[in-house]
Amino acid sequence: MLQQQLQAGAPRARPPGTGADEWGLIGDAAHDPTSDHTPHDFSGLGKAVVTAADFPNRPDLGLDAHLVLDDIRRARDPRAKYGISNGEIFSNHAVTEGGKTYPAWTWRPYRPKNGDRHFTHGHLSVVGDARADGTQAWPTIGAPGGVAADTEEDDDMGASFGPIDIQPEGIITSLTIPPVQAGAADPRRAWLNFCNDTGKAYGLRVWYTTGDEHFAAFPGCDGGQLVLRSGQRWSQEIPAGASGLSILRQAVDEHGKAVATSAELHAYAGHLTFAIERGPVGR
């Protein structure tokens, strides 16, 4: 899936812009039998499974392998085992080499016995368990909605993702998010943000769910109804455990209240977006 995503994000780098053999999965007979490019059996994952993928390092074609792997490293994607590029390697666990201990998710020098320090391509290995079956987009180029890694452990700064389009009148905008303060790979606080730059007021119905088969009105809204005046910014913390949002456009009546649409009243028909801000990584 990673290779397909990278080819979508950097279309000039996909074949024939690059050779098909530069997008390696299964190793040839010369490969070390212990390599992740060699099929192995994994309990809970399957038989004859390859847990590694290579892709070209072609910044001139829009595909910088080191930046791709650095996105995944900074996001601490739970599927990643280690990545190699430009003479460096990171692992999902602490490693001691040459008397020095490198913490998990940090780059360290890569000095393989065969001398291939991966300047021409990037390599990603994934874990050999059920986590590797995750179908979520990788946090780098080509991900839908512009999802990308943006958490840097050096400063623990939060980050936002968006803007995310709000669908036209009558269509619910449904967004699945990592469970807030409970995600396995992203256990952070998060805030929902709207900002009205339309020149007129508009209304929304905003609900959330924790995945328990029930929806509730989003905090800070009047029974789940929210009206934003022109030029107004609105930000509210997403409840802990929330894993889904449901947003629907509403009309605004003459009293400035959000109401269900009718033949007389219609929701704002222009372009509307929202964004989610994530807090710093907890230590």
| CA distance to 124, 126, 163, per residue, from 133 (Å) | 15, 10, 28
State the pLDDT at residue 113: 80
Q: Which of 39, 18, 42 is nearest to 28 (CA)?
A: 39
DSSP 230-245: TT-EEEEEPPTT--EE
Q: Are 225 and 232 in contact (CB under 8 A)?
A: no
State the pLDDT at residue 189: 84
State the pLDDT at residue 177: 84
218: its two tokens: 């989003």
Q: What is the pLDDT of residues 23-35, one digit of tens each?
A: 988 655 555 556 6
- Residue 197 half-sphere exposure toward CB, CA atoms < 13 A: 5
Q: Is the pLDDT assigned to residue 121 strictly greater than 90?
A: yes
111: its two tokens: 């000095």
Q: How many whole angstroms separate alpha carbon 7 and alpha carbon 143? A: 11
Start and end residues for every CATH 2.60.120 domain found in the chain:
150-278
Q: How confident is the model at residue 105 (pLDDT cuts 50, 70, 90)?
A: very high
Q: Are 236 and 219 in contact (CB under 8 A)?
A: yes
Q: What is the pLDDT of residues 209-249, one digit of tens each?
A: 999 899 999 999 989 999 999 999 999 999 999 999 999 99
Q: What is the pLDDT of residues 33-90, one digit of tens each?
A: 566 756 666 565 566 566 889 999 999 999 999 999 999 999 999 899 999 999 999 9
Q: Which of 52, 54, 101, 106 is nearest to 76 (CA)?
A: 106
The DSSP secondary-structure symbol of 40 reads E
Residue 174, phi then psi, degrees to nearest 5 = -110, 125
Q: Which residues make Cβ contacts (< 8 Å) with residue 27, sequence separation at least 6?
A: 35, 37, 38
Q: Which residues make Cβ contacts (< 8 Å) with residue 37, sequence separation at least 6?
A: 24, 25, 26, 27, 31, 50, 52, 54
The pTM score is: 0.50
The DSSP secondary-structure symbol of 7 reads H
State the pLDDT at residue 123: 94
Collapsing DSSP states into helix, strand and coil, what is residue 218?
Answer: coil
Q: How many whole angstroms separate alpha carbon 23 and alpha carbon 261? A: 51
Residue 48, phi then psi, degrees to nearest 5 = 55, 50
Give the CATH fold of the 150-278 domain. Jelly Rolls (2.60.120)
State the pLDDT at residue 282: 46
Q: Is the pLDDT assigned to residue 128 strictly greater than 90?
A: no
State the pLDDT at residue 68: 94
Q: Which residues make Cβ contacts (< 8 Å) with residue 9, sequence separation at least 6?
A: 62, 63, 140, 141, 142, 143
Q: Is the pLDDT assigned to residue 157 strictly greater than 50?
A: no
Of 123-127, 134-138, 220-224, where does mean pLDDT reach its minimum? 134-138
DSSP 159-220: EEEEEEEPPPTT--EEEE-PPTTT-SS----EEEEEE--SSS-EEEEEEEE-SSS-EEEPTT
What is the average pLDDT across 241-270?
Answer: 87
Q: What is the pLDDT of residues 184-214, one digit of tens each?
A: 656 778 899 999 999 899 999 999 999 989 9
Tell me the average pLDDT of the chain.
Answer: 84
